[in-house]
């Protein structure tokens, strides 16, 4: 069964749960029309189902290849990228002045869910390009914007993020790549970066690398890191790619999954680059890309979970084993109660994670576009609170659901040639990159909860309790039971939040940090349950 995006569920989650319609008419989002949502989702669904999904297992088995001329993408990927580019999908959220369509991030996130669900290895390429566009919009000089944004927005060129080095994993302050000023205002960048997603390939005309490096007089640690734009090909006077720059891929990582995504070891040898933002302020610039990437990675968990559910559900309808009352002969395993329990668990957790991610994206849109300063501030608090939960809870969920998918397949799920096995392998990277999930948990406790003195979580819990009250008011026996469970969850989360706040203000912060992952898991369970309950209440009064 090929991947087929659940369009009605996605649209319902965007509108009835995440509140997408709140964005209508806001400055910068004038192009958004609620009537466009379903047509956009339908067209993206066709690309995902008909073009990207058929290449998923081909890419897994054959992968990208490093040649003397650089990296050659997996078979069919260049043609698929051309279809993605020509469809205008890279420009969904970019401002119209740079060739974009000015649509909400939340809508683009739903589109990217489909692409990740159909072919995660492929979708990683535009995911990094979206981040590069965000960084240039926020921090790039006018010259850099003019030279690079139109082609990044159109998808003619792609972008990357270069942080990690062999001796420096998550500790960005330990990086050693250097950047020496040249007389023409550029910088000579030298060093080695590892784990660079789509660091080299042949699907686009140029690659725009965003590279963290140190200036000669930079202070030690993260305070001495600057950000540079380093293109694969230097631009000619007319703005088109010309001479090859001093950057190349010297190795492809051999990974557990996402084999068709070229994860590169990149070598910079006096490569010409240009400073983005202020000297020694590169980490702040890069966090613009990181925050965007963290939510995008969260939706990867949703996407792979959805694909795993669809694959397991199709298998459960076809695989016959055992006897069931009322079924003549061997019964499809879908008739067995434990298999149905597994499938229901998969579907519910995917729906909860989708709601968390979409709600985070709507908050991000409101934080930028709402006309009222108080609304913007409240939306920013919500975005900050949900981002680490969206990234960590959703990607842990993706691994768990993919594992359940393998279990439903039984022995067949353990065979490498099955899609179930591939999805399990592909999903495992998501809790690691763009900040491990342990780092997300520490960020939730140390910055997002404590930084607002608990206000962001107090407001969230108020909404959870309001949802529980709405469910109880329906007098539907099932919803009343759900309301009671949701209230109990909210109380547990409130108690845990108060304890965390107390520990972080005291002298034994390690106690809070040791429990941070469990706290994030609880927050995701409760907030995800809140959104599922909101959806259930809304569905009672809809068609």
Any catalytic annotation for residue 434? yes
What are the Cα distances from residue 100, in Å, to 104, 126, 148, 160? 11, 14, 13, 19
Q: Is 7 exposed, middle or buried (0-12, 13-18, 19+ CB in 10 A)?
A: middle
C-alpha 186 chain-centroid distance: 32
As a three-state string, the secondary structure of 415-470 is CCCCHHHHHHHHHCCCCCCCCCHHHHHHHHHHHHHCCCCCHHHHHHHHHHHHHHHH
Q: Is 45 exposed, middle or buried (0-12, 13-18, 19+ CB in 10 A)?
A: buried
Beta bridge partners of 272: 188
Sequence-separated (6 or more) residues with CB below 8 Å from residue 420: 308, 311, 312, 315, 402, 405, 406, 408, 409, 412, 413
Separation between Cα atoms, residue 543 and residue 10, nearest integer Å:
15
Q: Are 370 and 277 in contact (CB under 8 A)?
A: no
Separation between Cα atoms, residue 505 and residue 499, nearest integer Å:
10
Strands (E), 44-165: 65-67, 70-72, 157-162
Separation between Cα atoms, residue 404 and residue 92, nearest integer Å:
34
Q: Which of 153, 142, 132, 127 is nearest to 230 (CA)?
A: 132
pLDDT at 222: 83
Separation between Cα atoms, residue 349 and residue 356, nearest integer Å:
11
Tens of each residue's pLDDT in the chain, 543 residues: 679 999 999 999 999 999 999 999 999 999 999 999 999 999 999 999 999 999 999 999 999 999 999 999 999 999 999 999 999 999 999 999 999 999 999 999 999 999 999 999 999 999 999 999 999 999 999 999 999 999 999 999 999 999 999 887 667 767 899 999 999 999 999 999 999 999 999 999 999 999 999 999 999 888 899 999 999 999 999 999 999 999 999 999 999 999 999 999 999 999 999 999 999 999 889 888 888 899 999 999 999 999 999 999 999 999 988 888 878 888 899 999 999 999 999 999 999 999 999 999 999 999 999 999 999 999 999 999 999 999 999 999 999 999 999 999 999 999 998 999 999 999 999 999 999 999 999 999 999 999 899 999 999 999 999 999 999 999 999 999 999 999 999 999 999 999 999 999 888 899 999 999 999 999 999 999 999 999 999 998 766
Q: Which of 348, 441, 345, 346 is nearest to 393 (CA)?
A: 441
Computed over its alpha carbons, how large is the radius of gyration of the chain?
23
Q: Which of 398, 404, 380, 395 is nearest to 459 (CA)?
A: 380
Q: Which of 398, 351, 389, 386 is nearest to 536 (CA)?
A: 351
Sequence-separated (6 or more) residues with CB below 8 Å from residue 461: 490, 493, 494, 497
Encoded tokens for 508: 């034994």
Tokens 């993408």, residue?
A: 73
Q: Are 176 and 165 in contact (CB under 8 A)?
A: yes
138-150 core/surface letters (b: 16 or more CB in 10 A; e: else):
ebbeeebbebbbb
Q: Is 153 helix (H, G, I), strand (E, B) or coil?
A: helix
70-72 vs 241-244, strand pairing mode: unpaired
206-213 vs 226-231, strand pairing mode: antiparallel
Q: pTM value?
A: 0.96
Separation between Cα atoms, residue 260 and residue 65, nearest integer Å:
9
Sequence-separated (6 or more) residues with CB below 8 Å from residue 444: 385, 388, 389, 392, 516, 519, 520, 523
Q: Please tell me which residue in 68, 96, 434, 455 is annotated as part of the active site.
A: 434
Helices vs strands, H then E, count in the chain: 15, 11
Tokens 């998923």, residue?
A: 56
pLDDT at 543: 60
Q: Which of 246, 274, 243, 289 is nearest to 179 (CA)?
A: 274
Q: Is 156 exposed, middle or buried (0-12, 13-18, 19+ CB in 10 A)?
A: middle
């Amino acid at each position: 069964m090929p991947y087929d995006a659940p369009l009605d569920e996605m649209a319902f989650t965007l509108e009835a749960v995440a509140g997408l319609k709140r964005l209508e008419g806001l400055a910068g989002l004038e192009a958004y029309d609620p009537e466009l949502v379903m047509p956009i989702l339908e067209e993206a669904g066709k690309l995902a189902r008909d073009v990207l999904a058929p290449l998923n297992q081909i890419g897994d088995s054959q992968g990208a290849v490093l040649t003397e001329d650089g990296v050659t993408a997996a078979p069919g990927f260049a043609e698929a990228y051309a279809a993605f580019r020509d469809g205008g999908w890279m420009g969904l959220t970019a401002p119209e002045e740079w060739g974009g369509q000015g649509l909400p991030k939340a809508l683009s996130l739903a589109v990217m869910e489909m692409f990740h669900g159909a072919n995660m290895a492929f979708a990683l390429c535009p995911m990094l390009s979206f981040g590069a566009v965000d960084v240039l919009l926020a921090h790039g000089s006018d010259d850099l914007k003019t030279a690079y944004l139109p082609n990044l927005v159109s998808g003619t060129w792609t972008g990357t993020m270069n942080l990690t080095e062999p001796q420096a994993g998550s500790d960005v302050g330990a990086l050693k790549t250097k950047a020496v000023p040249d007389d023409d205002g550029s910088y000579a960048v030298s060093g080695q970066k590892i784990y660079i997603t789509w660091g080299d390939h042949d699907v686009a005309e140029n690659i725009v690398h965003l590279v963290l490096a140190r200036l000669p007089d930079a202070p030690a640690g993260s305070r001495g890191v600057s950000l540079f734009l380093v293109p694969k090909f230097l631009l000619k006077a007319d703005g088109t790619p010309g001479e090859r720059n001093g950057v190349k891929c010297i190795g492809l990582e051999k990974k557990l999954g996402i084999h068709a995504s070229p994860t590169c070891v990149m070598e910079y040898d006096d490569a010409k680059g240009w400073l983005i933002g202020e000297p020694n302020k590169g980490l702040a610039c890069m966090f613009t890309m990181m925050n965007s990437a963290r939510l995008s990675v969260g939706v990867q968990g949703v996407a792979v979970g959805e694909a795993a559910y669809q694959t397991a559900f199709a298998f459960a309808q076809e695989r016959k084993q055992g006897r069931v009352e009322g079924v003549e002969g061997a019964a499809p395993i879908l008739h067995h109660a434990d298999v149905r329990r597994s499938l229901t668990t998969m579907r519910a957790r995917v729906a909860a994670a989708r709601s968390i991610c979409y709600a985070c994206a709507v908050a991000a849109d409101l934080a930028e576009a709402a006309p009222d300063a108080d609304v913007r501030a409240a939306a920013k608090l919500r975005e900050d609170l949900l981002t680490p939960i969206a990234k960590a809870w959703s990607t842990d969920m993706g691994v768990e659901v993919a594992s359940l998918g393998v279990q439903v397949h039984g022995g067949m799920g353990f065979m490498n040639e099955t899609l179930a096995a591939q999805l399990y392998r592909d999903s495992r990277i998501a809790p690691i990159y763009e900040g491990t999930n342990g780092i997300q948990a520490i960020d939730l406790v140390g910055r997002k909860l404590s930084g607002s003195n608990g206000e962001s979580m107090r407001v969230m819990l108020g909404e959870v309790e309001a949802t529980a009250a709405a469910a109880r008011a329906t007098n539907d026996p099932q919803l009343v039971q759900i309301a009671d469970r949701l209230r109990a969850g909210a109380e547990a989360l409130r108690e845990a939040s108060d304890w965390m706040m107390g520990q972080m203000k005291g002298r034994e912060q390690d106690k809070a940090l040791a429990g941070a992952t469990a706290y994030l898991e609880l927050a995701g369970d409760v907030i995800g349950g809140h959104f599922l309950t909101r959806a259930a209440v809304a569905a009672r009064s809809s068609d």
